[in-house]
């Protein structure tokens, strides 16, 4: 692996850890910036089908994206898996706009969906033009966004947190 990949992995881990620790501290200290109220407690049968579709595309995107980032680039396998990953990310981004609470509406997490709509086509165009470094940066950024958005989605008070832990 190249040095830039290791740097990206380190930065991703550090940012994700920092964000998680910060929000954990806020939740424990009682300084939680979110509106007061109990976390939604949902039985699996009560979860809307869009949540399941969202989860069905986002959950496999995490290991698949990591696999693509760490494996050899430019091969037929890389291109095929990259297309599958990009497709899942587009479905994830589309469904994200329909997943919002009635009290909060859109949240900052939805910005990651907008960035996904912008960065994936940009990355594809850059790869086709032969600008591989720009392609790699855009795809790393999209993957980092996926991880950060996932960290935010798992915070106490969010729907996914209520489904998994409440």
pLDDT tens digits, 125-145: 999 999 999 999 999 999 999
Residue 153 tokens, joined: 């989605």
Cβ–Cβ < 8 Å for 97, 113 = yes
Cβ–Cβ < 8 Å for 159, 41 = no
Q: Name the most confidently modeled range: 3-7, 30-34, 59-63, 100-104.
A: 59-63
Cβ–Cβ < 8 Å for 57, 95 = yes
What is the C-alpha to C-alpha distance for residues 154 and 161, in angstroms, rounded to an integer?
5
pLDDT of res. 60: 93
Q: How confident is the model at residue 156 (pLDDT cuts 50, 70, 90)?
A: confident
pLDDT of res. 36: 45
User: Residue range 54-59: average pLDDT?
Assistant: 89
Higher pLDDT, 15 or 90: 90
User: Residue range 45-71: average pLDDT?
Assistant: 87
What is the C-alpha to C-alpha distance for residues 162 and 4, in angstroms, rounded to an integer?
37
pLDDT more than 90, % of the chain: 40
pLDDT of res. 129: 95
What structural domains and CATH numbers belong to the chain? 42-165 (1.20.120)
pLDDT of res. 154: 82
Higher pLDDT, 83 or 18: 83
User: Residue range 95-117: average pLDDT?
Assistant: 78
Does the predicted TM-score (pTM) go above 0.95?
A: no
Q: Which residues pair with 71 in a beta bridge?
A: none
pLDDT of res. 34: 44
Q: What does the pLDDT look like over 20-53, one tens digit per residue? A: 555 555 554 554 444 444 445 555 666 678 888 8
pLDDT of res. 22: 53
């Amino acid at each position: 692996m190249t040095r830039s990949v290791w740097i990206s992995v380190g930065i991703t881990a550090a940012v994700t850890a920092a964000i998680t620790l910060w929000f954990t501290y806020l939740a424990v200290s009682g300084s939680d910036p979110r509106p007061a109220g109990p976390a939604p407690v949902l039985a699996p049968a009560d979860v809307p089908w869009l949540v399941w579709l969202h989860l069905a595309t986002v959950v496999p995107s995490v290991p698949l994206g990591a696999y693509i980032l760490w494996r050899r680039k430019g091969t037929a396998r890389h291109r095929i898996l990259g297309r599958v990953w990009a497709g899942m990310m587009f479905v994830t981004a589309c469904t994200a706009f329909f997943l919002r609470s009635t009290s909060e509406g859109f949240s900052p997490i939805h910005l990651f969906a907008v960035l996904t709509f912008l960065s994936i086509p940009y990355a594809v165009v850059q790869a086709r033009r032969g600008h591989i470094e720009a392609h790699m940066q855009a795809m790393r950024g999209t993957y980092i966004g996926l991880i950060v958005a996932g960290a935010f989605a798992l915070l106490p008070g969010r729907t996914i947190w209520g489904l998994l832990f409440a």
